[in-house]
Structure 1
Amino acid sequence: MSTTDNTDNTDTNTRPGLTLGYTTTHPFSRTPLTDRASVQHLLTTLLDPLEPFFSPGHARVRLPGGTAVRFDQTASEVEGFARPLWGVAFLLAGGGEYRGSEWWVEGLRNGTDPETEKEGEYWGYPADNDQRMVEMCPLGFALAVVPGIWEGIGERGRGNVERWLGNSINEKNMPNTNWLWFRVFANLGLKKNGGQFSQERLDADIKHLETFYRGDGWSNDGPEGIHQMDYYSSSFAIHFLQLLYAKLAGEDDPENAAEFKKRAQLAALDLLHYYDEEGRAIPFGRSVGYRFAMVSFWGALAYADVELPAPLTWGMVKGIVMRHLRWWQTQHDIWSSSGTLTIGYSYPCMYMAENYNSPGSPYWACLAFICLAVPETHPFWTSKEEDHWAVSPRIKALKQPGHIMSNLGGHCMLLSSGQACSYPMKGTHAKYGAFAYSSAFGYSVPTGLFTLEQYALASQLGLSDDEGESWKTRRLSTSTLETRSDGEGALPVLVSLWSPFRDVHVKTYLLPPREDTPNWHLRAHQIRAEGREVMTADGGFAIRSSRAKDGRMLGVYDDKVTHEGTRPVLVGNYDLATPAGWADGREGAFGVSVGAVGVKALEGDVIVGDQTGETKKRTAMLVNADPNSNLIEGRTTIPTLQGTVRKGETVWYVTAVYAKPSGEGVERREYLSGWDKVPEVPAWLRKEIAQ
C-alpha cells in the first residue's frame, strides 16, 4: 500500500488519501478478524479513504466514478455522506472512537442550513419520493444513539435539522415500500432528542408497514399483490430496521417491539440457509451491490437482545458474520484505486447496477457493522465461532419467499419460484426470475439485447421467435410450492406457470439435489407453442472461462494434467457454426475452472415426443457470455441446451444441472467426480410427462 497527498482545488488544505497500485492490497483485506477490536479496525479501513472526497464543509461526499443516477447530483452526494454514517454511528454507540467522527457532525449542521447554499453544502428540502428520504434513516438513527451530535450542532443547527429531517419528510409522499421505515427513523431520531417530530406520522407508518407482513416471520417489500422477498425483507431494511426499532422504541411501544423480535426468531431459522460454510451469501434480487450488508440481520439480533431460537447459538450467529466479512476480504477487486467501494459485486460492474446506484450507494454495506453497537460482554462477542450447518437441515422449503434451499455439493443454492420486482428494473428477470441462485457461482445479467452471448442466460430458460436474436425468459409467473414422493421420502418441488409470449406457455418443475446426487438439480419444462415456433436455450450456472496458468480462454477439457477446460469446445462469439462446439444433449456440456458446472438433457430417458411421436432432441454447447455479465467472475461461459419447438407442438424438456465449486480440500481432479452419476427422473414426474 502507498499513500499520497490529494489536493482538492476547492480547498486550501491538503488531505491525505489512499492510492492502490498494481500490486498493493487494500487495508480491508489485511486486517485479521478475530474479535470486536479487529472488526472496529476493519470499519476504519472503509471510512479512511473517504476523507479526500468530502466537501470543505463536510456536508457532501463526491466519490470517484462520476456515474449518474435517477436522482440529482446533490442527492447523490448526500448519499455519499449519509451511508458511511451507519458504520460511524454503530462504532460510537458501542463505545468506539473514530478520528473523523466530527466530519459528520459538521456536515449535518451545514447540509441542513439553507445559508450554506452558496458554498455548495446545503442539501435542499426533499420533494415527493426523493432519495434524500432514504438517507434520513442513518441520520435519524445516529441522532438517536450517538451522544453529542444533537448538542454538537448548536441551537440553530437543531432548528434546521428539525425542519429538514422532520417537517419536510412528514409532509411528502413516499413509495409504498420499505422506504416508510426511513421516515420512522427520521421521527424517532428527533423524538429521542426532544426535537419536533410527528408521533401521528410515526404511528401511521408502523401501522401501514404491518400490511407488508406475510407470515412465518417474513415481510414483503410492498403491499398485497407484490411478491418480492429479497435481502430488503431481511438485512437491508425491513427486519433490520424492525430490530433497531425494537431496541430504541421498546419502552414506548412494547407490543410492536415484542412482535418484531418474535418475527426475527422465526425468520432466523430460514435466513441461515442463505450463508454457506465459507461465508458466502447467495446473491439474489436487487441491490446486492451493498455486498456485506447481506449479513446485517445477524448483528441486529444481538443489538436488539433477541433470544435465539433453538438450535441457533450466539457462536453460530457470530460465525455467520465473521466468515462473511472474511470472504469479502478475499474479493480484492471491489475497490477503486482510491480505496473506495465501487458499484458492483466481486468487481466493478455497471451492468448489474440499478438506476439508483450512485458511487456512494455501496456504503449501505456499513449496515454489517451493527455488531459494533453490541457490547463486548454480549455472548455474540464472547462466544467461540461455530458452524450453523452442524445443526441445520441441508434441504428446506421456505413457503413465504417461495424458495427451496439447498446446501449439498459444496455450495448453498436456492431454487426460486420466480419472484418479480414491482416496477421496471434492469435485468429484473435475472435477479428474480432465474431458476437457481448459488453462493459460489452468482447470477448473470444481460449486457445487451442481441444473441445468447449478451443475454447470458445462466440458470434461465430463454425462448426466441426470431432465430436467436432476442430472447424472453421467466419474469412474471404463478407458482406453487408442492411436496412429492417417489418412494424414498417426501421432496419439495416448485411448480411455476409462465408465458414468455401470449401464445407460448411454459410449466416448469424445479427439483432440489438429493443426498446421493448432491451436485445435481433437475428442471422439467412443458412448453406449449400454440401460436409460433420458438427456439429454446436452457442455461446452467456460469463459470470462469479462463485458464489458471495464463488467463487465456479455456481449451478442451484436459483430464490428465490441468483438469480444466470445456466439453464440447468453447468457441468464440463469431465461430458458432463450428461443429466441434456442439454435442448431443444426452452427452451434455460442461466447463471446469473454479469448480465445474454443466447440463445434460434427460428427456430421452422418459421418451418425450411430440404429437407425431417424434422424440425431441436438444443439442449441448457453451455460451461464451459477454464479459462482466456475471456478478462474481468477469469472464464466464454457460453450459446450455438448445432445441426448437414447432408451432402447435407441446414438448417436455428435462434438464439435469451440475454444479461443484472449488473449495478447501477439493482437488481439481474431483470437480467432475459426480458428472457421470446423473439423478433419475422420479416416477411421479415420469407419470406427469406421460399424461
Structure 2
Amino acid sequence: MPFTIQNELKTRDDLAKFLRSLLDPLAQHTSPGGALLTLGATGTHYDERAAQLEGFSRPLWGLGSLLAGGGTYDGVERWVRGFASGSNPDSEEFWGPMRDKDQRMVECSAIGFTLTIAREAIWDPLSDEAKANLEAWLGGMMAKSMPDTNWLWFRVFANLGLSRVGSKHFDAARMAKDLDRLDSYYIADGWSRDGPDGLQLDYYSSSFAIQFAQLVYAKLAANDDPERSKKYKERAARFALDFAHYFDDQGRAIPFGRSSTYRFAQASFWGALAYADVELPAPLTWGAVKGYLLRNLRWWLTQPFLSGDGIVTIGFGYPNHNMTENYNSPGSPYWCCKAFLPLALPADHPFWTSAEEGIPAALPETVALPHPLHIITRAGGHTFLLSSGQMCAYPLRHSAAKYGKLAYSAPFGFCMPVGIGGIEELGGDSTLALSDDEGETYRVRRAVRGAEIQVLESSGTPVLHSFWDAWADTEVETWLVPPTAGSLWHVRVHRVKAGRTLRAAEGAFALHGQGRDHRALPATDPTQGDGAVGEKGLSLAASGAGAVGIVDLVQETRDGVAVRVDANSNLMVPRAVLPTLIGEISAGTEVWYATGVFAVPAQAGKYGAPETWVKAWQTKPEIPQEILQIIKQ
C-alpha cells in the first residue's frame, strides 16, 4: 500500500504534524550512532558517506524550525546523538574531514542554521568533547575553496552557528568576504544570479537558496549586520511581486530549472518572508503569503511522492530518476524541509493569525519579467511561462529540457529525454526539435545567441524574441506570443534558415495519457471525450488532466501526430501523450512556421477540461500584425 498523509494543512499545528510525519519514517533508516541516514542505494558524483550525511542534515531545516518555535519532537535525540558521533574523528560514523569543494560543505548550512535557532535543544545536551568536535568539524571548511555560487551561503550559515555557540572557530572576516561576494551576484529588482556565470534565474534565485538564505540571515543577523539585513528584506519585498506569478490557484509552482526533486522547497520563500518580518508590498498580504505556501503543500499531499515506508523519493510528481542531476542522493529531496520555516514563528504572528487568501486579484494576468526573460500568464486558468535566454553554463543532465524549452506549465510540467532513439524518446514538449538523420536523433534549443522581450506597438503585448543555432549552417529565430486575455492559446513563430535537409518536430504541452478506463487514450475525437488524434495541420488530446492541442496557423503543411512519449519522460505523470507537428525542410531554404498551442487544465476536483473548451479550441488565435509583416517581407 502507498504511504499517505492525511492532513488539512490549515493551521500551525497541522504544519507541525506534517513535518513529524516526514521525520518519523527516518528512524528506521538511521545508524546506531545517529549520524548517518541510508535512504536508498543510488549513487552521486560525491561519496557515500557524504550522501549519508545529507540524509542526516537536510531534515534539520524543518526540525530546527519546529524546535525554535517552541515545538517538540520525540525523536530529537537521534540528531543530538548524531552530532556527537558524526563529528568525532574516532567514531565509526565520522562524517570525514572537509576537503576543497566538498559536498559536506553543503550540509553545513542546515547544521549552522539549527545551532543558531535551536541551540538549547541541539547544542546544550552535547558533552564538552562533542561540542569541541562539532566546532572543529564545522570550522574545517573555513580555509577550503568553494564553488563561486550559492555554496558560499553554506559557509555563512556555518559561521552563524559557530558564532551563536561562542566558538573560537568563528571567522568573522571570512563571513564578511563571503557575503560581499554573494552580493556581487545581484542584478536588480530583487533578482540574483547563482554565481557570476550564465543565466539561471530559477528556484535557486528564490526558495532553494539565494532569497531564502538572505531572509534567514536578515532575521538572524539583524543586530550584528543591520544595513545588509535591511537591504535583503527590501530586495525580497520587490522580488515577491515577481515570484507570485510562478504559482497557480491550486498551489502548483511552475516546474523550471534544476533540482526539481526538492519539491515543495519551491514555496519556502513565502515562509522566509514571514520569518524575516518583511514589510509586504501591495497587493500582497499575510493572508495571501500564507495561501501561497499552504496551497502548495496541500497540492503535494495529493501526489505520490513518498515511498511505501514514508521516505521522500527522488523525483517530482512521482518517483523518477530520469529527471535528476548527478548530485541527487536519496537524502537530497529533504531540502523540501525549508518549507517548514514558519514553525519557528510564534502562534500570534500575522502569518498564522491571518485568514488564508487566494491569489491577489490586483496581480496582472500576464506579466513580462525582463531579468529571467520570462513572460508568465494565468490566462484562461492555465498558469505557464514562455522562456528564452536562460541556459546552464556548465554540464548538467538534461539542461536543454530544464532551461531551453519554449514554455513551462504549472499543471502539465515538462518532459526530459529518456534516450536518443526517435521522437518518443525525445521528450519534445514545448520545443522545435530538428533532425538531420530523418528523425533518428534531434537537436533542441539549449544555448541561445540572443534573446529579448519586445513590446508590440499595436497592442502593448510583450513578446519573446530569440536566436539559436542548431548547426553552424542552420539558424532558428523565434517569437513567442502570450495569450490574449482569457484565451487558451499562445502563438509561436519560427524562421528556420536551413543549410541541410531537416525534419522538424514541434510539440505542445504533454498531457496525462490515460483515460477513465485507465488505458492509453484511444485514437478517437478528443472533442467527444478521452482521445488523442493527429491529422494534417493539427493534433489534439484530451483526458482527465485537461486538453492540449497544436495547429499549423499558416501553411498547414506539417503532419499532426499524437506522440506517446516514453514512460517517465514527464515530471508530473509517468505516462503522457504529446500533440506534435512534423514537417520537412529542404537544404538551402528558409522556412516559416506559425504555430498555435492550445492548453486548458482540469479544474480542481473535476475530470477533464471545462465543457467550454471545445468552442475555445475551434477559435484559432491570430498572428500579431507586426510579426505577419516580417513573414511577408
Q: Same fold (TM over 0.5)?
A: yes
Which residue of 1 is the match for residue 476 of structure 2?
A: 506
AA aligned to 1:498 is W
Q: Which of 342, 351, 357 does residue 380 from structure 1 map onto?
A: 351
Structure 2 distance, partners of 1:550, 1:316, is: 37
1:264-313 deviation line (CA, Å, top 9, x unaligned) = 01100000001111111100000011010000000000100110011110
1:452 aligns with 2:394: no
Residues 260-409 of structure 1 mapped to structure 2, 5 A cutoff? 260-331=232-303, 333-409=304-380
- What SS does the aligned partner of 1:89 have? helix
C-alpha distance in structure 2 between counterparts of 1:557 and 1:97, whole Å: 56
Aligned to 2:63: 88
SS in 2 for 1:45: helix
**How much has 1:539 moved relative to structure 2?**
0.5
CA distance in 1, matches of 2:207, 2:244: 12
Provide the rounded CA distance (Å) in 2 between the counterparts of 1:558 and 1:598: 10
State the Cα distance separating 1:667 from its structure 2 match.
5.7
Structure 1 residue aligned with 2:632: 690
Describe the superposition over 1:314-351 as per-residue Cα deviations: whole angstroms up to 9, x where unpaired: 000001111111101111x2111111010001110011
Where in structure 2 are the equivalents of 1:156-235 lying within 5 Å?
156-166=129-139, 168-195=140-167, 196-223=169-196, 225-235=197-207
Query: What's 2:594 paired with?
Result: 654
Q: What is the aligned partner in structure 1 of residue 552 from structure 2?
A: 601
State how far apart, in whole Å, the 1-side matches of 2:362 and 2:293 are: 17
* C-alpha displacement of 1:408: 1.1
Aligned residue for 1:608?
A: none
Please give the per-residue CA displacement for 1:576-608, whole angstroms capped at 9, x wherever unaligned. Answer: xxxxxxx211x444444410001001123xxxx
1:537 aligned onto 2:505: yes
Residue 677 (1) aligns with residue 628 (2) = no
Rounded to whole Å, the distance in 1 between the matches of 2:114 and 2:539 is 55
Contact map agreement 2:465 2:480 (CA 8 A) in 1: yes
How far apart, in 2, do the equivalents of 1:446 and 1:505 lie? 23
What is the TM-score when the length of structure 1 is the normalising length? 0.89
CA distance in 2, matches of 1:635, 1:557: 20
Letter in 1 for 2:507: G
Contact 1:483–1:490, Cα closer than 8 Å, also in 2: no
- The whole-number CA distance in structure 2 between the counterparts of 1:597 and 1:550 is 19
Tell me the TM-score normalised to structure 2 length. 0.97
Does the CA-based 8 Å contact 1:418-1:474 persist in structure 2?
A: no
Asked whether the 8 Å contact 1:548–1:593 carries over to 2, the reply is: yes
Q: How big is the shift at 1:366?
A: 0.3
Query: Which residue identity lines up with residue 146 of structure 1 in the other structure?
Result: A
Tell me how far 1:157 sits from its aligned partner.
Answer: 1.4
Aligned to 1:493: 463
| Structure 2 counterpart of 1:571 | none
85, 91, 99: which one pairs with 1:116? Answer: 91
Matched position secondary structure for 1:647: coil
Is the CA contact (8 Å cut-off) linking 1:477 and 1:497 kept in structure 2? yes
* Contact 1:217–1:266 under 8 Å retained in 2: yes
Does residue 463 of structure 1 match 2:434?
A: yes
Match of 1:548 among 488, 492, 516: 516
Superposed displacement of residue 421, structure 1: 1.5
Give the Cα separation in 2 of the matches to 1:53 and 1:430. 34
Q: Secondary structure at the match of 2:490?
A: strand
Q: Give distance in 2, aligned partners of 1:197 and 1:177.
A: 21
Q: Residues 545 and 609 of structure 2 are in contact (CA less than 8 Å); yes or no, is this contact kept in structure 1?
A: no
CA contact (8 A) 2:544 2:609 kept: no
Q: Residue deviations 1:470-528, cap 9 Å, x none?
A: 111110013433333363x3011111110011111011111101115x11101111111
Q: Decide whether the 8 Å contact of 1:47 with 1:84 is kept in 2.
A: yes
In structure 2, what residue type is equivalent to 1:524? Answer: V
Corresponding residue of 1:9: none
Aligned residues: percent identity? Answer: 47
1:126-141 to 2 correspondence within 5 Å? 126-141=98-113
Task: Pick closer, same or farther for the CA change 1:667–1:426 going to 2, 3 Å.
Answer: closer
C-alpha distance in 2, partners of 1:437/1:513?
Answer: 14
- Give the C-alpha shift of residue 240 in structure 1: 0.0
- Deviation string for 1:196-235 (max 9, x for gaps)? 2111110000000111111110001110x41001000000
Partner of 2:8: 32
Change (3 A) 1:554 1:45: farther
Q: Does structure 1 retain, via aligned residues, the 8 Å contact 2:603–2:610?
A: no
The offset of 1:551, in angstroms, is 2.9
1:617, distance to aligned residue in structure 2 (A): 1.9
1:401-420 CA distance string (max 9 Å, x none): 11001011222111111311
Cα distance between partner residues in 2 of 1:409 and 1:545? 22
Offset at residue 559 of structure 1 (A):
4.3
* C-alpha distance in 1 between matches for 2:557 and 2:240: 44
CA–CA separation in structure 2 for the residues paired with 1:476 and 1:337: 40
Please say if residues 418 and 434 of structure 1, whose CA atoms lie closer than 8 Å, have aligned partners that are also in contact. Answer: no
The one-character-per-residue Cα deviations of 1:630-686 (angstroms, maximum 9, x if unpaired) are 001110111111112111111110111010010146765444331111111111010
Give how far 1:25 is off.
4.7
Does residue 73 in structure 1 map to residue 48 in structure 2?
yes
Residues 548-567 of structure 1 mapped to structure 2, 5 A cutoff? 548-557=516-525, 559-560=527-528, 563-567=529-533
Task: Give 1:45 shift.
Answer: 0.5
2:58 partner SS: helix
Range 587-596 or range 130-139, more displaced: 587-596
CA deviation digits over 1:29-67, x for unaligned, max 9? x0122210111101101000100000000000001x311
Q: Secondary structure at the match of 1:350?
A: coil
Q: Is the 8 A contact 2:3 2:306 kept in 1?
A: no
Residues 398-447 of structure 1 show CA distances to partners (whole Å, capped at 9, x for unaligned) of: 11111001011222111111311121111110100001001000010010
Residue matched to 1:57? 33
C-alpha RMSD of matched pairs (Å) = 1.4
- Residue type matched to 2:482 in 1? P
Distance 1:537 1:593 in 2: 26
Match of 1:477 in 2: 448
Query: How big is the shift at 1:159?
Result: 1.4
Determine the structure 2 residue equivalent to 1:522. Answer: 491
CA distance in structure 1 between the aligned counterparts of 2:365 and 2:455, rounded to whole angstroms: 18
Distance 1:122 1:400 in 2: 44
Secondary structure in 2 aligned to 1:415?
Answer: strand
How far is the alpha carbon of 1:558 from its aligned partner? 5.4
Aligned residues between the structures: 629
- Residue 66 of structure 1 aligns with an amino acid whose one-letter code is A
